[in-house]
Amino acid sequence: MIGHTPVRYNPIGKEEQQAVSEVMESGVLSRFLGVWHDDFFGGDKVRELEQLAAAHFDVEHVVSVNSWTSGLIAAVGAIGTHPGDEIIVPPWTMSATAMAPLWWNAVPVFADIEEETFNIDPNSIERNITPFTRAIIAVDIYGHSADMDAINAIAKRYELQVISDSAQSPNAQYKGNYAGTLADIGGFSLNYHKHIHCGEGGLLVTNDDRLAERLQLIRNHAESVVAGKNVTDLNNMIGANYRLGELEAAIAIEQLAKLQQATDQMIAIAEALNTGLEKLEGLRLPITKPGCSHVYYAFPLILDPTTLGVSREAIYEALVAEGIPLGMGYTNIHLLPIFQKKIAYGNNGYPWSSPEYRGNVSYDKGICPVAENLHDNLLITIPISLFAWNDQEINLVISAFEKVWDNLDLLG
C-alpha cells in the first residue's frame, strides 16, 4: 500500500519567481490595447513568449491566449465557421473541445475514437461527414498525436479545415513534427496540470499568415480593430478579451525552457510503469504508434474483464484502496445534458433548431461505441502529470497492482 497521496507536481522554481518579480517591479502587468496600435499585440513578455514558442515548435506564428478554451473558441472562429456548420469532434476529451463550435452557433458532430491511442478515428470521421461539415477538431489525448496523415487526407478530399487540440501533448512527435503543428491551427494548454504551466493560458500555432491575424483579432476586440487595421473580411470579427497577462507570459517563458525536462520526466515515469506492469495478464499498457512519441500527460490502461474474471469497477476500487490515485477516463461528451437535450442558447434548442442548421445530428448513446465501452467497462488512468512521482512511489504503485492481481479471486 502506498500509504499516502504522492506530492503534487510543482514545476515552479526560482527562475519563475525571478521572472514574476521582474514583471512586478516593472509595473506593467498587461500592455494590450483593444484598438489598432502597436500595443494591440501585447506587452514585452507576451511577445517574447510567442517568439520563443514559434522557434521551439518550428511554426511561423504563435498567438497566446488566456486559456486553451479561449484558444479553441478563437480557432473555430478564425477558420470562418458559419452558423449551422457542422464540426466533427471526438467524445473523449475535455468538454471545451465540443463547446467551441457552439460559441459560433455551429453544431458539434461526434466521431468515435481509436482504442489504441484514444484519439479520433479517421474512419469514423469520414462516416460522419455531411454536406454541412466545415472542419475537424482532432484531439491529441493523453500525450499521443492523432493520425494526422489520415485526418489531413480526409480534410483535403472534402475541402475541410483541421484544428489540432494538443492541450495534453506539447513536445510529442508525429513523423518528425511536433504534435499540434500539422493542422491549419493547433495549440497547447498552459493550465496548471499541463506540461507547460503558468496557471491558465494557451498557445495557438499556425503557419498561415491570414489565420494568425484572425486569431489575434478575435483574441483582442476585433470589432474595434478591423477598421484601423484595414481588415475587410468581417466574418466572425466579434472579438473578446482572450489576452494573456505579462505575469503568466513570464512564467510560461521559463516553463517553455523546461519543457524537454518535463516531458523527459513523464516519459521516464511511464517507462518504469511499463516495465513493472508488463507481465500482468489482462492489462493492456499504453501504445505508441510507429513514427510517434508519447509524452504521457496520463498513463492509460485497458483492462480485460473477461480474462481477469473481475469487473473494472472492482479492480479500480481495490487499487484505490491501496492508495493509487486513479481515474476512469473521460465522460463521453455527447452524453452530457447540453447534447442530450439539445439546449444551449435559450430554451428553444438553438443552434440545432436554428433555420441555418439543415443537418440532423444524433447524440444517442451508441453512436461512439469504442469511447462508450472504454468509459463504461475497460479503462483506468494514472495521472502522471499531477504528481511528483519518485522511484519509491512508482515501485509502490507496481507492488499495489501486483497485490491486486494476486488476489483477483477475492474481488469476484
pLDDT in tens, 348-357: 999 999 999 9
Model pLDDT, residue 387? 80
Rg of the chain over all Cα atoms, to the nearest angstrom? 22
In angstroms, rounded to a whole number, what is the distance separating the alpha carbons of residues 24 and 230?
35
- CATH number of the 14-257 domain: 3.40.640.10
Asked if residues 261 and 143 have their Cβ atoms less than 8 Å apart, the reply is no
For residue 2, name the pLDDT band (cuts at 50, 70, 90).
low
Task: Assess whether pLDDT exceeds 70 at residue 3.
Answer: no
Full DSSP string of 187-210: EEE--TTSSS-SSS-EEEEES-HH
- Residue environment code for 297-307, b if the CB has 16+ CB neighbours within 10 A, otherwise e: bbbbbbbeeee
Task: Assess whether pLDDT exceeds 70 at residue 1.
Answer: no
What CATH homologous superfamily does 259-330+370-410 map to? Aspartate Aminotransferase, domain 1 (3.90.1150.10)
pLDDT in tens, 387-410: 888 899 899 999 999 999 999 998
> 123: exposed, middle or buried (C-beta count within 10 Å: 0-12, 13-18, 19+)?
middle
Asked if residues 188 and 167 have their Cβ atoms less than 8 Å apart, the reply is yes
In angstroms, rounded to a whole number, what is the distance separating the alpha carbons of residues 78 and 220?
13
For residue 328, name the pLDDT band (cuts at 50, 70, 90).
confident
For residue 213, name the pLDDT band (cuts at 50, 70, 90).
very high
Which residues sit opposite 106 in a β-bridge?
Answer: none
In angstroms, rounded to a whole number, what is the distance separating the alpha carbons of residues 125 and 221?
34
pLDDT in tens, 37-74: 999 999 999 999 999 999 999 999 999 999 999 999 99
Full DSSP string of 348-386: TTBTTTSTT--------TTSSHHHHHIIIIIEEEE-GGG
- What is the rounded end-to-end Cα distance, in angstroms, of the chain? 21
For residue 6, name the pLDDT band (cuts at 50, 70, 90).
confident
Q: Using alpha carbons, select from 376, 377, 384 the residue that is nearest to residue 300.
A: 384
In angstroms, rounded to a whole number, what is the distance separating the alpha carbons of residues 282 and 377?
13
Model pLDDT, residue 320? 93
Q: pTM for the complete prediction?
A: 0.96
* Domain locations in the chain as residue ranges: 14-257, 259-330+370-410
